[in-house]
């Protein structure tokens, strides 16, 4: 398994399969996908198939008063490859990227079904459960890399 930077186009098939099943591919294109500080990563199996994806967008989180932050979105592993550490590897990769950018915090709207995945990786749950229309229940989670970023 290897991780490499991928284009936003390369994320679309897995976004469609896992995160927006049954929707048109256009529903899998997210605001900021092509922004200069956005980065997409993919996990590739031995046949170079993309079996895991994650994206990070340089974006403030007003409800946490985080201005200098990255939003993590679009985390997914292929259903046939779950439980093998791919999601964790992708999380570590984006965290290394965010730290290298000297940005002190990362936040995400975590699906309630995936909350344990983030808590397991050291993220803090910082909201009650809320609904995102057409997607489902979520929690706001975050991880700070700097003691100045107190939450």
Which residues contribute to the site for ligand COA (CB under 6 A)?
Answer: 18, 75-77, 82-88, 110-111, 113-114, 116-117, 120
Please state the closest distance from residue 147 (CB atom) to ligand COA, in A. Answer: 26
Smallest gap from Cβ 126 to ligand COA, in A, equals: 14
If the CB atoms of residues 1 and 35 are measured against ligand COA, the closer one turns out to be 1
Q: Label residue 108 exposed, middle or buried (CB < 10 Å: 0-12, 13-18, 19+).
A: buried
Q: Toward ligand COA, which CB reaches closer, 97 or 111?
A: 111
Q: Which C-beta is closer to ligand COA: that of 64 or that of 114?
A: 114
Cβ atoms of residues 95 and 143 within 8 Å:
yes
**Distance between CA 83 and CA 51 in Å, rounded?**
12
Max CA pair span of the chain: 43
């Amino acid at each position: 398994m290897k991780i490499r930077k991928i284009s936003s186009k390369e994320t679309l098939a897995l976004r469609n399969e896992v995160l927006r099943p049954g929707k048109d591919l256009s529903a899998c294109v997210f605001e900021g996908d092509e922004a200069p500080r956005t980065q997409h990563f993919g996990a590739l199996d031995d046949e170079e198939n993309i079996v895991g994806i994650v994206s990070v967008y340089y974006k403030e989180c007003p409800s946490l008063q985080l201005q200098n932050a990255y939003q993590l979105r679009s985390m997914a592993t292929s259903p046939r490859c779950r439980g093998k550490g791919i999601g964790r590897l992708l999380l570590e990769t984006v965290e290394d990227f965010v730290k290298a950018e000297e940005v002190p915090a990362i936040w995400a709207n975590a699906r309630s079904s995936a909350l344990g995945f983030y808590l397991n990786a050291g993220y803090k749950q910082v909201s009650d459960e809320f609904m995102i229309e057409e997607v489902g229940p979520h929690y706001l989670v975050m991880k700070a890399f700097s003691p100045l970023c107190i939450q």
